[in-house]
Structure 1
Amino acid sequence: MSNAVLITREPVINKQHKITANRLIVHAASVSQAVEALDSLAEVWPSTHPVFISLYKLVPTPDLLNWIAPANAMVEIPTQSIAHPLTLTLIPQLLAANISLNLTWYQHDTVLPPNVQWRFLIVDAKRQHLPADPPGLSIAWGLTDVPDFRNAIAEGYDGASGWFFLRGVKTDGKLAPSHAQIVRLMNLVRRNAEVREIETVLKQDVALSYKLLRYINSAGFGLMCEIQSFRHAVTILGYEKLNKWLSVLLVSASRDPSAPALMQTAIARGRFMEKIGAAFFDKGELDNLFITGAFSLLHLLLGASLQSALEEMHLPTPIADALITGDGVYAPFLKLAKALESFDDKQLAQLAGELHISPDQVNRAHLEALSFADSLQFG
C-alpha cells in the first residue's frame, strides 16, 4: 500500500460546538495521485458542509488544477510552501477556477502574496496566540480539550479544528431520566413488544417522537415515502431498523454543549462500520455494526460510564465485546473507524490491510459515512 492514497479527517467546530466543516487530510505520494483519488470519490462527496483539503506534507502544485473540485471544496495552502514558485503559480489559478483558499499554520510574520482572499486561517494555538488582524476567519488547531476550546474562543478565535471535544468530559454519572426512557424503548423494540405498548412510552415524550420521525425521514435514510407515525414506521421498517434509529435517538439525547460534534462523530463511526462491514457480515448484522460505532462515544454523550450505560440495554454480545473489552468480530472495524480520526495513515493502512480492505474501499466508505452523518440535524 506504499503508493496508495488514504484520507483521514478532523472536524472544524464553530463557537456553538457544532461541526460546520470537515478537514480531509489526503495522504499521497504526489499531488497527481491525490487528484486521481479525489476525482474517484466525486459521487460520494460530502456536500452539506465546506470541505477543507489538506495535502499533508506535499507542496501544492499546478497538478491540483486537474481536479474537478466540488463547489464546497477549499484548498489549504501551507505557510511553509507559500513562497514556493509552484505554489505562487498555483494560487491565482485556483482563484480563477473559483476554488476557495485556506491558509494553514499562519503566523504573525507570514508574508502573504498580494490580492489573495483567504477564507480560513488555521493557526497552531499550541505555539502562539491569535495574530492581530488575521486576513480570514481564524481556526485554532492543537487544542487539548474542551476547556482549551473555550479559552481559544474567548481569545477571539472563530472556531477550532481537531478532536479536542473527545477529551476532558466527566463520565462518572448514571443515565439521566430522558436517556433511560430511550433505553426502555430500545429494550421493548428488541423483544418485539406490541406496537401499542411502545406507542404508550413514546406518547409520554412528544419531543422524542418528533426527533425519531425526523431522523427516520432524513435524506440519509433514503426512504421512498414519508413515515407519518410510529405504527407506520413499524410497518415500513420493521423492528430491527427501528432499533437502529432508536440508537441514533439515544446518541442525540445529550444536552451537553459539546454534544453536537460528539453526535456527528458517533454516527459517522457507525455508518462507516456499517458500510465497510457489508462485505464481511450478513445483512442482518449491519445494524449491529452501526450501533457499535454509534455507541462508542456513548459514555461521553450521556455522562455515564460505558459499562453502566450498556448494562441497561442488554446488547448483543459482539457489540458489548467490541465496546467494553475491544475484542470480538466487530472490534477490528471499530478500530478502523477510529483510525480515520488521525493523521496516522500508516496505522490506517495496517488496519485496512489486516482486513484485506483496499484504500479505495476505505476512502469511499469514509466519505459516504461523513455525508450521512452530515445529513442529520443535531442540536
Structure 2
Amino acid sequence: MDVFVARQPIFDRLQKVCGYELLYRMSTENQYICANGDQATSDVIANSFLLIGLESLTGGKKAYINFTENLLKTGLPTNLPPNMVAVEILEDVERCEEIIAACRKLKEMGFTLVLDDFVVNECSEPLLEFADIVKIDFMNTTPAQRKNIIRKVGFGKIEFLAEKVETREDFEQALEMGYSYFQGYFFSKPVIMSCRDVPVYKLNYLRILQEVNRPDMDFGSLDSIVKRDVSLSYKLLKFINSAAFGFRTKITSTRHALVMLGINEIKKWVSLIALHNLAEDKPDEIMTCSVIRARLGELVAPKIGLRGCESDLFMMGLFSMIDVLIGRPMSVILADLPICDQVKKALLGQACRYYDVLTMIKAYEKADWATFFRYAEDFGLNENEMPELYVQALEWTNNFLVV
C-alpha cells in the first residue's frame, strides 16, 4: 500500500524556501479528506518520519505540522525534534489552562510555535506570549482586517505569515505590510510525496532498534524495552540459555541477562534479534549474510588495529542490508538510527576507515580477491587468517539462526 504526504513551501521575503507545511493526503488527489484531525496529524508524522523520511520531504528545512487540541494535551509534539519542526496550533484549539501549559513546555523545549488562521479576539490573546509566528488567511480576510491584526499584535517578537496568497497583488500587499513569510498557490500548490507502506510490525522493530542504540541508553531503559516485546524477550532468553553461551545457571529474566552480559552485549543481541524479526518475510540469505558480516567485522577488528571498535563493526555488518529488509533507502533509515557517525558513513558508501573494512568483507564474501588483498595489505592483515575467521563467523551465525 502506498502512503502519501503533501508539502507546500513557505517562502521568506526574498522568495526563498525556508520551510514546508506538511499536509495529510489519502491519495494522489491533491485534496484533504479526513474527518479525524488527530488521525490526520498522526499519519503525517508517521509517514514523514518513519516512511518517506523528513530529510527527503524538507531538505533540512523546518517542517510545519498542524496539531489538534487533543494532540497538544497528550504531548505528542514533545516527541519530535524542536530544531526540525514548527508546531502549528489550529484555530479551533481551546485556549484553556491545559493548552497554555502545553505551549509553555513546547516553548521551553525550543519549538517554533505558529498560531494558525489567527483572528483578534479575547480567546486568541492567551497564546500570543508563546507565539513566534502568526498565520493570517488572505483568502478569508479583507485588507482592513489584516491591518487590524498587525496593529493589535504588533511587530515585537512575533512575525507574520501570509497564507493562501493567490495573486501577485496579495504578495505585494503582504510585503508592504511587513509580513516575513508567504505561502499559497501564487508560489506553489502542495506537492504530493509518496512511498510504499511498511508493515506495522516492521515499524515496531525499527523503533526498538532506534531506542536500543541511543547513546544514553541505561540499564533500566534497556530492560523495559526488551520486556515490552514478548517475542524479543523470549528469543533473547532462549538464545542466551543455549549452548552458544554455556552458562551453568539458567538465565531467567532480562535483568538477569543484563547482569551476566552487560549493557553493550545485550544491546548487540537485542539489535540482532530485532533485525531477525524484521527479516521474517525476506529470503533467509539476506539475514544470514548480514549476521556473517557483523560477526566477521567483530572478529577482524583486533587484527587490523581497531581493537575497541568491535561493537561498531558488528553493528555495521548487521545493518549493511537493512535497506533491503525494510524497503526504504539507506539514507532515510539511518537518519533516525542513532549509531555512530563512522558506521553511518560506511553504510552510506562514504570514505572512512569503517567503509574500508566493510568493502574488504564484501570483497571476501564475493571472492573478489584483487580488492580483498589490496585492503588486507592496507590494514596489515595476514590474508591467511581470513579463512579461519570467516569459518568462525559462519559457525556463529548458524548457531544463532537455529536457536
- Greater relative contact order (CA < 8 Å, ≥ 6 in sequence): 1
- Please identify the structure whose Cα radius of gyration is greater: 2
